[in-house]
Amino acid sequence: MIIIHFKCVLYICLQNYKNLAKYRLWVVNFLSLISNNCELLVTLPLKSIMANDYFRFKQFTVRQNRCGMKVGTDGTLLGAWAHGGKNILDVGTGTGLIAMMMAQRFPMAQITGIDIDCNACCQAQENIALSPFQIEIQCVNITDMRGLFDCIVSNPPYFVDSLPNPDHQKAMARHTSSLSYSDLLSHSYRLLTEDGELSLIIPTEGKKLMESEAALNGFFKVRECAVKTTPQKSARRYLLAFRKHFVGEPEMSEGVLQDTPNVRSSWYQQLTKDFYL
């Protein structure tokens, strides 16, 4: 009698790596029926494998493997929406995304990005070195920053009362314990010129606190944009702009990211047309 040992190889090509979790149980059960000596090979498209390593825009590429805060919708919205100036400060620059977006929109501006995470600063410097822009990056807390700026932008940490992430780098990027709204606003007021503008993006649940802290520090809201994911949903984030002096009733607007699921709205396309490929 001849005994033949064989190895079954199941080859699956997934167009989206998320499908792997969806079909995992089915695959395991299938293999158990075939043989105890099986091998599963799964191929993923390159862009899925590399999705966490870099994000490519029209004029620059953002590498993000060393940062706690990855490229996301919030940073892109703020970088495309904020008013500029001659001297621009990006607080919590992370990968340098917003700083580079402002540099693209305002090519004559002097731009500085600051962050307390030295790994993030190194990443931002790497991204800027490979871009067409000249931006200064400093590893410094806003409390120690000096100078005057007529434009300050920030996508600040957004978790207020929740427990910090056990990953220290992610906690610094995402939790307000590393930069409270009060510190951000008081030092932004100190660093802003008399006619300068502070632009922020925050989740809906942080809006009231941010506006209260802004008023306590002498700011007046001049612009607000409520951003919805789809037309039927409530706003999930707000773009806010503040100045030191009252200039009238704030300009109020609303934006929608997707008219239908996974289809960018005309508003979002128009806002980001100079950046997204």
Please give the backbone phi and psi of residue 30, each rounded to the nearest 5 degrees, phi first.
Answer: -65, -45
User: How far apart are the two ends of the chain, measured CA to CA in Å?
Assistant: 63
> Residue 122: pLDDT above 80?
yes
Residue 223 shares a structural domain with residue 91: yes
Q: Is residue 1 part of a domain?
A: no
Q: Is residue 121 part of a domain?
A: yes
| Residues 93-108, mean pLDDT to the nearest whole number | 98
Structural domains of the chain, count: 2
Residue 175 burial by CB count (10 A; 0-12/13-18/19+): exposed, middle or buried? buried
Residue 40 shares a structural domain with residue 70: no
Residue 201 shares a structural domain with residue 156: yes
Residue 44 shares a structural domain with residue 56: no
| Residues 132-153, mean pLDDT to the nearest whole number | 97
Q: How far is residue 102's CA from residue 113's CA, in Å, rounded to a whole number? A: 11
Q: Is residue 142 part of a domain?
A: yes
Residue 172 shares a structural domain with residue 42: no
- Residue 139's domain is classified under what CATH number? 3.40.50.150
Residue 65 shares a structural domain with residue 152: yes
Window from 41-45, 139-143, 270-274 with minimum mean pLDDT? 41-45
| Residues 146-171, mean pLDDT to the nearest whole number | 71
Residue 40 shares a structural domain with residue 160: no
Structure tokens at 142: 């806003």
Question: Helices marked H in the chain — which ranges?
Answer: 19-34, 46-49, 73-81, 97-105, 118-129, 168-174, 181-191, 207-216, 266-272
Q: Is residue 3 part of a domain?
A: no
Q: How far is residue 256's CA from residue 264's CA, in Å, rounded to a whole number? A: 9
Output DSSP code: residue 165: P
Give one DSSP letter per residue of 231-248, joined into a string.
TTSPEEEEEEEEESS--S
Q: Is residue 194 part of a domain?
A: yes
SS3 140: coil
Kindly indicate the confidence band of residue 177, based on its pLDDT and cuts at 50, 70 and 90: low
Q: Is residue 2 part of a domain?
A: no
Q: Is residue 76 part of a domain?
A: yes
Task: Quick: pLDDT tens for 14-53.
Answer: 444 344 444 444 443 444 444 444 444 433 343 333 345 8
Helix (H) or strand (E) holding 114: strand 110-115
Given a contact cutoff of 8 angstroms between Cβ atoms, the answer to whether 267 and 255 are in contact is yes
- Domain extent at residue 194: 52-272
Kindly indicate the confidence band of residue 69, based on its pLDDT and cuts at 50, 70 and 90: confident
Given a contact cutoff of 8 angstroms between Cβ atoms, the answer to whether 106 and 88 are in contact is yes
Residue 162 shares a structural domain with residue 188: yes
| Residues 210-217, mean pLDDT to the nearest whole number | 98
Q: What is the rounded average pLDDT for all residues in the chain?
A: 82
Computed from CA positions of residues 17, 237, 84, 176, in that sequence, does the dihedral angle turn out positive or negative? negative
Q: Is residue 37 part of a domain?
A: yes
Structure tokens at 127: 């991204």
Residue 76 shares a structural domain with residue 109: yes
What is residue 43's predicted lDDT score, i.e. its pLDDT?
37
| Residues 109-134, mean pLDDT to the nearest whole number | 97
Residue 161 shares a structural domain with residue 229: yes
Residue 42 shares a structural domain with residue 56: no
Buried b (16+ CB within 10 A) or exposed e, 198-207: bbbbbeeebb
| Residues 191-206, mean pLDDT to the nearest whole number | 97
More confident: 247 or 167: 247
Question: Helices marked H in 12-106 — which ranges?
Answer: 19-34, 46-49, 73-81, 97-105
Residue 65 shares a structural domain with residue 184: yes
